[in-house]
Amino acid sequence: MDQKAWEGIHKRATLNLAEDSGNRPKNYREIEAGLKDGGDFEFLWSDFLHAFYDYKDASFFAEPSPASLSPGWQALLAGAAEWLSAEFGLPAPAWIEEPRYFLDRPWDPMEDMGIDMAEYMADKLDRSPEAFRRRNVAFLSRNLIAL
């Protein structure tokens, strides 16, 4: 199923970013601004992913992961920038290699939702793409699918 979803995302026509008149976030700074305005992270992230898949443009990752987020979420967004850049043949931004985007201990975003994932952490981390695993973030690429 994931493979079919990724095929669909790759086959989606790439739109011209210069012609965009929408208000979906198109970089991490815009996600941060939306959060400061009281927006919901999951909604903003979903809008960001949909916009990225419409335009598939490296500019979406030109701005670093928002410093206002927890270290885990900053690392996750750095991993997403790295993974999505590679997946779509875009240059990875240099900021993703900064030490602050690498965690000292394994982290799963489900922890922030109050779900105890300790029992499954090692397995999920092993199945995570290298862009996340090297940051100690247990996150599967399927969680980046937005159709």
Map 10-58 to HEC letters. HHCCCCCHHHCCCCCCCCHHHHHHHHHCCCCHHHHHHHHHHHHHHHCCH
Q: Give 10-residue mean pLDDT values along the chain (147 residues).
A: 91 91 93 95 95 97 93 97 98 97 92 65 90 96 91
Number of domains in the chain: 1
Residues 145, 117: Cα–Cα separation, whole Å: 21
Residue 38 confidence (pLDDT): 95
pTM to 2 decimal places: 0.92
Residues 103, 8: Cα–Cα separation, whole Å: 33
Residue 15 to residues 100, 102, 133: CA-CA distances in angstroms?
33, 33, 31
Residues of the domain holding 37: 2-144
